[in-house]
Amino acid sequence: MPAVEYLVSPEAVRLVHFRLLEEWRTAMNLVGPGPVDPHFDDCEAAVRRLDPRGRWADLGSGAGFPGIAFAAWHPEVTLTLVESRQKRAAFLEQVVREAGLPNASVLCGRVEDLPRAAFDGVIARAFAPPAQTLETALPLLVPGGQAVLLIAKEVPPEVRGFRKVRQEAYSRRDHARNLVVYERIQEAETSP
């Protein structure tokens, strides 16, 4: 695999994201109380294990986890950070702008309003329960597209229209996490 050329280093993006998160967090309740480093560590540990291609969406981007790290570690991918709350979308736009992430854009809107079959992949962390996230993602993906979930220890669901192609445990400090990759099955494969 050829070496990836970063326009902005993932470490520099993390510093900008961290600074802005600390500035905005109390005014907007972006993340709960406590340190924010575990959120960064979790997302970076997961997205570094991926080899995405094409056009992706981060569903329910919120404070930018995992989307900002995903965009930083995969500059060859085009990423849409999807957030329905205007204030959080404004926060994400500022992070994208100040971090200099040319491959990321913010869409303030509902996931259900996204175009059908428009994405090669979606990624989500704490968007909804895993089965519901997959059901929401299914119409957004092209056949063969991937849905990547960052979940806790729960057993990944089997959902019609998807085939689980990878499950990898990773640690976030003292918490066990799972990176689960699903592939959207071709329409003919889902018919009885």
**In angstroms, rounded to a whole number, what is the distance separating the alpha carbons of residues 165 and 179?**
11
**In angstroms, rounded to a whole number, what is the distance separating the alpha carbons of residues 172 and 38?**
7
Check residue 5 and give its pLDDT: 60
Check residue 173 and give its pLDDT: 63
Maximum CA pair distance of the chain? 53
> Which two three-digit tokens encode residue 3?
């070496």
Task: Answer yes or no: is 2 within a domain.
Answer: no
Task: Answer yes or no: is 91 within a domain.
Answer: yes
* DSSP designation for 144: E
- Residue 106 in this model has a pLDDT that exceeds 90: yes
* DSSP designation for 29: T
**CATH number where 150 lies:** 3.40.50.150
- Residue 152 in this model has a pLDDT that exceeds 90: no
Domains contained in the chain, number: 1
Task: Answer yes or no: is 5 within a domain.
Answer: no
Q: For residue 92, what are the domain limits? A: 10-190
155-187: pLDDT as tens digits: 788 899 999 999 988 776 667 788 999 999 976
Check residue 192 and give its pLDDT: 44
Q: Percentage of the chain surpassing pLDDT 70?
A: 91
Task: Answer yes or no: is 162 within a domain.
Answer: yes
Q: Token match 């704490």: residue?
A: 126
